[in-house]
Structure 1
Amino acid sequence: MTKPDGLGEVDGLDGVGVWLRQRLPGLVVESGVPGAAVAVSVGDDVVEAAAGVLSTATGVGATVDSLFQIGSITKVVTATLVMQLVDEGRLDLDAPVREVLPEFRIADERAARQITARQLLCHIAGFEGDVFTDTGKGDDALERYLGVLDGVPQLFEPGGMFSYNNAGYCVLGRIVEVVRGEPFDVCARRHLFAPLGMSHTAGDPYEAIVHRTAVGHVERAPGAPLEASAVWALARSNAPAGSMLAMRPRDLLAFARMHLAGGLGPDGGRVLSAESVRAMRQPHVTQPDIDQGAAWGLGWELFDLSGGTVFGHDGNTIGQSAFLRVVPERGVAVAIVTNGGRSRQVYAEVAGRVLGELGGVGLPAPPVPSPTAPAPDAARSDRYVGTYRSSTSETTVSRDAAGRLWLERTPLGVIAELDEAAYRTELVDWRGDTLIPVEPERGVHAPLAFLGDDGQGHALYLHTGRADRRVSR
């Protein structure tokens, strides 16, 4: 089979490896990404490549053994630890969380009594999810974190809809600690990383420092040059949600291959039951129409793509982004890690090639606004106009004299402290009550949906994957 890009007769996984090593150096430059590493597996066979630098401040080159933070892909690790407890008969997913954590409190006492581990796993518990309070670096960080949730508001009834919830995964991490009687990071190493041979995986900066480790890069203002971040990781209290875990792509694939193998580790030992592996990939909730994935299972995001089903997860932390995609029918997995810049451009080209050539599935084209897309008409615009707030941002949607709709988002709290840039864009029609921004953010036009009703004909939520509640007209 002759390749149009000059790979000649090289085919299959080896051909992808040749292409990766040739293409990745140029791709990171074109994408403004300081450094990236990629691993691809078919069955137990792996090819990998790396390019660029781990930090623009030091110029240290990225290698295939370099550690990058995987951000929220950590949530699937946490979900797997939880499902191990289910396998052992030590946790009932549908029992109230308070049966294990009687101290669990949020602002809505009635909701706190009802919320279950299953609802936390698939992001339908309904309380404010972006709580990044630093409760210290000690082994009691998660225990103390539970104490700061008592004022967190309930956005909707438990089970009412999908809203991505970092805090919920911190609660799940505390469940693992209480049932196991050990700190979360110890549980992860003992019950997952060691059995899977994940030798280049770090649960905190103290472990990461002995490896060749990437630093995130951020824009201090829109369009400004990327700078190496002065902060490497978020607080330990958010570790189960993805604030610290770092690894090389090959180690991330070792975790994915266990799921592909029905829960068996590399030595044939049982790490997770086949029943739990299947349960984690069963759809539990569909997402709003924002083009982010068809559904969510217990930890995994589920994508219904042309040619087959794919599961995976993305991760974003301070200036770093990671992507994991798995095609179960073909035994194919790809892990992509980056440390700044237009990371989705790297993801789109690499994952598009790998999933298409080896997995037989096609990635959809990223959403982009039509040059002729109109602003919503006045009646619909009135439904959308207002201010929406979460603990990490305040978003105002306004209409100008010409009838054009504008979105302005201001970072709040810990996100503002990390010098996250404000964002302003015009919104135009896309699909129904889902609009699309004209100006990209980090190279992406991410659609957003206006959902619900405040009782006066206005949308109650601005949904971007998270449900931000209306706070003013």
Structure 2
Amino acid sequence: MSDLEHIRTWFDEHLPELLEQHRVPSAAWAVLKDGEVVEGAHGVLNLATGVTATPESVYQIGSITKLWTSTLVLQLVDEGLVDLDATVRTYLPEFAIADEAAAEAITVRQLLNHTAGFEGDIFTDTGVGDDCVEKYVATLGGTPQLFAPGEQFSYNNAGYCVLGRLVEVVRDTTYDQALREHLIGPLGLRHAAPSVHEAIMHRAAMGHLESGEEGTLEPAPFWSMARSNSPAGSTLTMSARDLVAFARMHLEDGVAPDGTRVLAAGTAERMQAHEVDLPELGLMGSSWGLGFERFDTPDGPIVGHDGSTVGQGAFLRMVPAEGVAIALLTNGGDMISLYHAIVGQVLDSVTDVHLPGLPQPPAEPERIDARRFVGTYSADVFDLTVSQDDDGRIWIEQVPKGLFIEMGGQVERSELVAYRDDMLIPVEPDRGMYMPHAFLGDDGEGNALYLHLGRAVRRAGA
């Protein structure tokens, strides 16, 4: 029996139990090795309707869309239409944020590798028309600059919307149509939908969120986020097999299965290569490329991306040295723990590269003076306030704003303990994960300037 047949058997035997254990309504999966693919699905796409998942079912891939956006941009680079190190204003003269000097300096590369430095969690809904991305970019004029362009990594959804608009302008088309013409079509994908209107033509998953004190899973209050954020990952929907077909093109030097060249020779490798390091957060990669998240393990790099939308979670992992790709698509519950159990098992079975362990709080955390960390850190979607009580315990309170309120966000208070130098970690998991909190920089008075959670959240008033 081949490695892939062993994988199929393992999924058949274990996926139903794992879904029940982690309270995930359904999952679809696909594994690629040496040009061959196995796939499957189990569970219920929508708890309100009882429609079951099949391998052809489509799920939102969320921020994995950023790999598609970066691929569209690199196609333009291949064609000589865009220079990675040219400023964004070379192609979008109207691009504006609050810091004019930064707006003039930010480059295409800095948008791709998340070092542009402006506030990134901006989810303004500018309608459903074909001009929605253009209108979205026009709303960024008051967006604050958190640090100088190129200074550090801070995950930036808004930056990828700007890249989507760049694609629209240079291609003279809409973002959705660019996906169809330059990726979905050339890759021969049959179950991929850039828009809500196309997704409904397929067997589409519904996201689920926890409700009430019991944490009961219920269908999300709406299906997708705003179309204006589509280049960052608000609408693109597909089957696990189609997501793996996209990964295969990147593993095979930009060539589609039928021989169509989608990227120039060497471009896929450039996209996966190291560009910038991250704080040691554990849940995100250790470094980033031109779109690709990188896990730099002792056994070699794993590359890919995650995606999270309204009650749906998607995971893509690739081992370039071994020609392996894994896609896992889910629609609620403890999706992170399910991902780690499944993708870890697959990697152990068919590669010599192992998934890094998830961060855990220490059994006996050290008591520390947290004065450097105490204060409020503010972003567009939440305020985070760190405090230390008279007993020396450290707390963080999250107050949702904007989109997070619309998605049902509530004020949450949780305890943090010492983790590593200038890092704290929650005592209790959130959706199956313990997210390390890194405190970086100095506000000039000995306090941390940023609370880094994959994105840099700046101290309020500093």
* Interval of TM-score (by shorter of Structure 1 and Structure 2): over 0.9
In 2, Cα distance between the equivalents of 1:266 and 1:191? 15
**Residues 421-444 of structure 1, C-alpha deviation per residue, up to 9 Å, x if partnerless?**
433211111110111110111110
**Residues 54-95 of structure 1, C-alpha deviation per residue, up to 9 Å, x if partnerless?**
011111001111000000000000000000000000001111
Aligned residue in 2 for 1:329: 321
Which AA in structure 1 matches 2:441? G
In 1, Cα distance between the equivalents of 2:213 and 2:160? 31
**Pairing 1:365–2:354 present:** no
Aligned residue in 2 for 1:262: 253
**Pairing 1:426–2:418 present:** no
**Pairing 1:391–2:383 present:** no
Which AA in structure 1 matches 2:363? P
Q: Output the TM-score relative to the length of structure 2.
A: 0.98
Aligned residue in 1 for 2:273: 282
**Pairing 1:447–2:439 present:** no
In 2, Cα distance between the equivalents of 1:216 and 1:416? 17
3-state SS of paired residue (1:384): coil
**Pairing 1:186–2:164 present:** no
Match of 2:12 among 15, 21, 24: 21
Cα separation, partners in 2 of 1:192 and 1:267, compared to 1, 3 Å: same
**Pairing 1:305–2:297 present:** yes
**Residues 217-269 of structure 1, C-alpha deviation per residue, up to 9 Å, x if partnerless?**
11245652111012111111100000000100000000000001100011112
In 2, Cα distance between the equivalents of 1:199 and 1:370? 47
Cα separation, partners in 2 of 1:115 and 1:222, compared to 1, 3 Å: farther
Aligned residue in 1 for 2:160: 169
Residue range with higher mean Cα deviation, 35-44 or 453-462: 35-44
In 1, Cα distance between the equivalents of 2:53 and 2:400? 31
Which AA in structure 1 matches 2:297? L
**Residues 299-340 of structure 1, C-alpha deviation per residue, up to 9 Å, x if partnerless?**
001111242211000000100000000011111100000001
Residues 170, 241 of structure 1: 8 Å contact kept: yes
Residues 389, 469 of structure 1: 8 Å contact kept: yes
**Pairing 1:350–2:342 present:** yes
C-alpha deviation, 1:472, in angstroms: 5.2
3-state SS of paired residue (2:231): helix
C-alpha deviation, 1:346, in angstroms: 1.3
Aligned residue in 2 for 1:293: 285
Q: How do 1:7-46 residues align onto structure 2 when only pairs under 5 Å count?
A: 10-46=1-37
In 2, Cα distance between the equivalents of 1:214 and 1:410? 29
**Pairing 1:203–2:182 present:** no
Match of 1:319 among 311, 322, 325: 311
Match of 1:272 among 263, 266, 276: 263
In 2, Cα distance between the equivalents of 1:152 and 1:172? 16
In 1, Cα distance between the equivalents of 2:313 and 2:307? 5
In 1, Cα distance between the equivalents of 2:169 and 2:271? 22
In 1, Cα distance between the equivalents of 2:22 and 2:379? 30
C-alpha deviation, 1:366, in angstroms: 1.1
**Pairing 1:436–2:408 present:** no
Residues 41, 332 of structure 1: 8 Å contact kept: yes
Residues 222, 421 of structure 1: 8 Å contact kept: no
Which AA in structure 2 matches 1:362? H
**Pairing 1:149–2:140 present:** yes
Match of 1:72 among 27, 38, 63: 63
Residue range with higher mean Cα deviation, 343-352 or 107-116: 343-352
**Residues 181-229 of structure 1, C-alpha deviation per residue, up to 9 Å, x if partnerless?**
0100100111001111111001111001110000111124565211101
3-state SS of paired residue (1:147): helix
Residues 219, 420 of structure 1: 8 Å contact kept: no
Cα separation, partners in 2 of 1:220 and 1:420, compared to 1, 3 Å: farther
3-state SS of paired residue (2:246): helix
**Pairing 1:414–2:403 present:** yes
Cα separation, partners in 2 of 1:123 and 1:94, compared to 1, 3 Å: same
**Pairing 1:102–2:93 present:** yes
Percent identity between matched residues is 54
3-state SS of paired residue (1:13): helix
Count residues in correspondence.
Answer: 461
In 1, Cα distance between the equivalents of 2:3 and 2:213? 40
C-alpha deviation, 1:11, in angstroms: 4.6
In 1, Cα distance between the equivalents of 2:356 and 2:411? 28
Which AA in structure 2 matches 1:420? G
**Residues 263-319 of structure 1, C-alpha deviation per residue, up to 9 Å, x if partnerless?**
001111210012211210111100012122121000001111242211000000100
Which AA in structure 1 matches 2:254? G
> Which 5+ residue runs of structure 2 have no aligned equivalent?
none
Residues 423, 441 of structure 1: 8 Å contact kept: no
Residues 21, 50 of structure 1: 8 Å contact kept: no
In 2, Cα distance between the equivalents of 1:112 and 1:222? 45
Runs of at least 4 residues of structure 1 off by over 3 A? 220-223
**Residues 374-404 of structure 1, C-alpha deviation per residue, up to 9 Å, x if partnerless?**
23x22xx000000001001110100111011
In 2, Cα distance between the equivalents of 1:303 and 1:221? 36
Match of 1:217 among 208, 215, 222: 208
3-state SS of paired residue (2:101): helix
What CA RMSD, in Å, does the superposition of the two structures yield over aligned residues?
A: 1.1
In 2, Cα distance between the equivalents of 1:223 and 1:448? 27
In 2, Cα distance between the equivalents of 1:20 and 1:247? 20
